[in-house]
Amino acid sequence: MEEKLAQLKTKLAEIVDLSQAAALLGWDQQTYMPPAGAEARGNQQAVLGRIMQEWATAPELGKLLDELKPYGESLDPNSDDARLIKVTAKDYAKATCVPTEFVVEFAQVTSLAQQSWVEARQKSDFSIFQPHLEKIVELRRKYASFFPGVEHPYDALLDDFEPGMKTEDVKAIFSALRPQQVELIKAIAEKPQVDDSFLHQPFDEQAQWDFGVEVITKFGYDWNRGRQDKSAHPFTQGMALNDVRITTRVDPNFLNSMLFGTMHECGHALYGLGSSPALDRTGLEGGASMAVHESQSRMWENLVGRSLPFWQHFYPRLQEVFPSQLANVSLNAFYKGINKVQPSLIRVEADEATYNLHIMLRLEIEIAVIEGNLAVKDLPEAWNTRMQEYLGLTPANDAQGVLQDIHWSFGGFGYFSTYALGNLVSAQLWEKINQDIPALDDQIRAGQFENLLGWLRTNIHVHGRKFEPQELVQQVTGSKIDPAPYMRYLGKKYSEIYGL
């Protein structure tokens, strides 16, 4: 069996190599590729997608997995090899449901769509993107049809990003969370609003960039294994275990965009760089799910980056970088300002108390579109209506509304709910981390993140994809994904800031 296991690992390594080559092409498309290269890039991605699909569904791979199944069941169920056989068998079963020609078409369509989205967003004109999105929705519905056994067509899409999670599970979690968040927001609205005007003024772009680099270097981002570039929508892309890159964007008149976007993407990258070397080129490197990934990015962005201990360390340095803007702004005023609660149009710049409402809005829209109850042409109106219902705001244009996120352009239906789930997981993990590292606040106050990163490496990062998200969260915290720790965190934090 050792020989057959070695054969399996060799085949998987080649598939992973192709996948990472495709990832590099995707990274380039969103950073440095000239716009006219979109069609050629679509063809390149289609060819790679076809080859990967053929290899991932090859009968000899299925035969190997069948032969290895009894061996895998004889091993420690949590061992790398047992999990490799189990997870690969699930991946194989899922991949064999999807025709190769579909994979090729999807790669071509989404490559063109991403370039179209960039143009549509720049011009704030949904009609430019609409025909591409209509094709993507058609393909997403078709994809769901390849899995007739699912309870809801959206389950098939959700499983791509959140293995094992069902649409009804997410709805139940959000139903429990929504009224609590709405109640908190109403309580805050009755209190005097904090001032954040000092965040909305000119900040030199290069100085912002350099400060962000300084912060994430202290977090532990390894520049020998990564880099940072600019993109229209910040993202993280892993090309290999030792090559995980991030992007950010810089607003010359608003400090938060770069500041927290950079920390957020660094959190993703730290996760990607933390997989066990034993999992490299097996398909088990990376992360358990997008919710677990988001728990890492939101943790570094919010629980660390928006905390008072963090700024007790970094604020004097930020004042040195921007003396004319911040010299007369106290630490307490700055801390309150970056944590101001106010319904806003842009998801990535939303405060912690209102952020999940942005996600719930998108989940409702996605489900309605996949079910066929909402036409793509009606998305701008539906978006604006729900924004008014959820947050009391109406976007002035498409760029502020339906075009603000890149996810639909790459076919990422099923992705958005993982952001809110990630918030919940981050708070669950944070409670456990503080139990295990009682002096954590003092360490953050001193600009020391080694123990925090070490805990995450040991308990989360090292496992890669070995465990499904609910399984991993329960293993580490003792319970499945639970909104309670998140609401405790928000309640305590905003009671102190707003005097609730």
Mean pLDDT over residues 140-168, rounded? 95
Q: If you classify domain 167-498 with CATH, what class do you get?
A: mainly alpha
Pick from 390, 420, 365, 379: which is nearest to 154 by CA?
Answer: 365
Mean pLDDT over residues 207-217, rounded? 98
State the pLDDT at residue 1.
83
Cα separation, 462 vs 456, in Å, equals 8
- pLDDT 10s digits, 366-410: 999 999 999 999 999 999 999 999 999 999 999 999 999 999 999
Calculate the dihedral angle through the C-alpha atoms of 143, 464, 78, 14, rounding to the nearest 10 degrees.
70
When pLDDT is cut at 50, 70 and 90, the band that residue 348 belongs to is confident
φ, ψ (nearest 5 deg) of residue 34: -65, 145
φ, ψ (nearest 5 deg) of residue 185: -65, -40
Contact 133, 114 (CB under 8 A): no
- pLDDT 10s digits, 431-486: 999 999 999 999 999 999 999 999 999 999 999 999 999 999 999 999 999 999 99
State the pLDDT at residue 141.
97
State the pLDDT at residue 69.
96
Say yes or no to pLDDT of 302 above 90. yes
Mean pLDDT over residues 271-294, rounded? 96
Q: In the chain, where are the structural domains located?
A: 2-149, 167-498
Which one from 162, 265, 294, 301 is the annotated catalytic residue? 265
Tokens of 411: 């076919």
Pick from 377, 390, 216, 374: which is nearest to 301 by CA?
Answer: 216
State the pLDDT at residue 284.
96
Active site residue 168: no
State the pLDDT at residue 44.
95
State the pLDDT at residue 349.
83
Strands 228-230 and 243-248: parallel
- Single pTM value for the model: 0.91
